[in-house]
Amino acid sequence: MSVFDHKEFDDHEHVAFFNDKASGLQAIIAVHNTNLGPSLGGCRMWAYQNSDEALNDVLRLSRGMTYKAAMADLKLGGGKSVIIGNPRKDKSAEKMRAMGQFVDSLGGKYITAEDSGIAVADIQLMAENTAYVGGVEAKYRYDGGPADGNPAPSTAYGVFVGLEASVRHKFGSDLRGVRVAIQGLGHVGYRLAEHLHQQGAKLYVTDIFPESLEKASQNLGANVVAPDEIFALDVDVFSPCALGAAVNTSSLMQLKAGVIAGAANNQLAEEAYGEILRDKGILYAPDYVINAGGVIDIYHQRMLSTADAMRAHIEKIGDTLEQIFVRSESDRLATNLVANKMAEERFNR
């Protein structure tokens, strides 16, 4: 296993490996870039087959966080950490405390938070040994309501604001009567559906579990469709809020929507599909720009901030997307590639 000539190595500033014999913790932290501020990124626990797979993940994900933070106008850089092990079988309080020591050893260059396999309770154990944690103490909620530490309401609000900006750009209209197909009614997707319903959008929804579908049908008047029917619907907006790679060779052939704007990470199965969407006249809101509400939330929870400041910051997602769309047209470049360029201009400045 090599680091400097690894295919995912991208001039990362710091890659640290940690082996705590007493607890059995094996973990890696990657700090990609700190030009804009200390790096922030979740800690993922996963049953990686080997340490190379873990290294691959941490290098790739930490780089993505640099781009996300830059486009969200945060004074943060990009980092990520991974713990090697099955979160259901291999997790222990000792390992989480040891992870806190590991995070602390970087002296604030990396701030950790939740990710797959790591819950708030795990971060609280890490916090016994380090102050460099986010997402444990919730003081504010973007709408002034009681904060519970779940970033999904902020993410959903950001996606809503971004979807509204995308519709305005593409169709020159507000959301009244706009037909939106939402794939995945989980923590983010259901809340997004509520916002859209309030603004008069017509909803089409799918999920692999029925509970939230019934709720959306009853409370929001949503039309429920089967998971494989969501792509080909005659709608204005397709909103991927389930897993990655919703835009793939199969869905590209079926999509009729004029806008793609959703919460899921890594929506394009290949970066090159951005140009295909542009050729087809489909306006794509780059995933890491539109879904940044959660990371903006974590940032404000750590600062001496207010609910109003958090909300205003999330609402900037709409302006940022508009800048991307305008530049995509003037530079004749796909929106995902424009976003990458703009992020690089910001963090390389």
As annotated, the active-site residues are 80
- By rule CB under 6 A, what string of x and - marks binding of each residue 135-174 to ligand NAD? ----------------xx--x-------------------
**By CB under 6 A, residue 301 contacts ligand NAD:** no
Cα–Cα separations (whole angstroms), residue 81 to 50, 78, 103, 244 = 15, 11, 9, 20
User: Total residues contacting ligand NAD (rule CB under 6 A)?
Assistant: 23
The answer to whether residues 139 and 108 touch, using CB atoms and an 8 Å cutoff, is: no
User: How near is the Cβ of 113 to ligand NAD at its closest, in Å?
Assistant: 11
CB closest to ligand NAD, residue no: 186
Which of 33, 183, 320, 340 binds ligand NAD (CB under 6 A)? It is: 183
The answer to whether residues 335 and 285 touch, using CB atoms and an 8 Å cutoff, is: yes
β-bridge pairing 25-33 and 14-20? antiparallel
The answer to whether residues 182 and 262 touch, using CB atoms and an 8 Å cutoff, is: yes
**In the complex with ligand NAD, which residue's Cβ is closer, 25 or 185?**
185
Cα angle 90, 92, 97; round to 5: 130
**By CB under 6 A, residue 227 contacts ligand NAD:** yes
How far apart (Å, rounded) are the C-alpha atoms in residues 345 and 339?
A: 10
User: How near is the Cβ of 268 to ligand NAD at its closest, in Å?
Assistant: 13
**By CB under 6 A, residue 38 contacts ligand NAD:** no
User: How near is the Cβ of 116 to ligand NAD at its closest, in Å?
Assistant: 8
**By CB under 6 A, residue 184 contacts ligand NAD:** yes
**By CB under 6 A, residue 241 contacts ligand NAD:** yes
**By CB under 6 A, residue 210 contacts ligand NAD:** no
**In the complex with ligand NAD, which residue's Cβ is closer, 24 or 64?**
64
**In the complex with ligand NAD, which residue's Cβ is closer, 4 or 209?**
209
What length is written for the chain? 349
What are the backbone dihedrals phi and psi of residue 268, each rounded to the nearest 5 degrees, phi first?
A: -85, 120
Which of 114, 115, 164, 207 binds ligand NAD (CB under 6 A)? It is: 207
**By CB under 6 A, residue 119 contacts ligand NAD:** no
**By CB under 6 A, residue 115 contacts ligand NAD:** no
β-bridge pairing 25-33 and 77-84? antiparallel
Kindly give, in sequence order, each residue whose CB lies less than 8 Å from that of residue 115, ignoring residues fewer than 6 positions away: 41, 42, 43, 44, 80
**By CB under 6 A, residue 243 contacts ligand NAD:** yes
How far apart (Å, rounded) are the C-alpha atoms in residues 289 and 72?
A: 7
**By CB under 6 A, residue 34 contacts ligand NAD:** no
- By rule CB under 6 A, what string of x and - marks binding of each residue 258-297 to ligand NAD? -----xxx-------------------------x--x---
**DSSP summary character for residue 247:** B
Which residue from 8, 111, 35, 30 is spatially nearest to 346, judged by alpha carbons? 35
Which residue from 254, 214, 247 is spatially nearest to 231, judged by alpha carbons? 254
How far apart (Å, rounded) are the C-alpha atoms in residues 268 and 274?
A: 7
Query: Using CB under 6 A as the criterion, which residues of the chain lie in contact with ligand NAD when the complex forms?
Result: 151-152, 155, 183-189, 206-209, 227, 241-243, 263-265, 291, 294
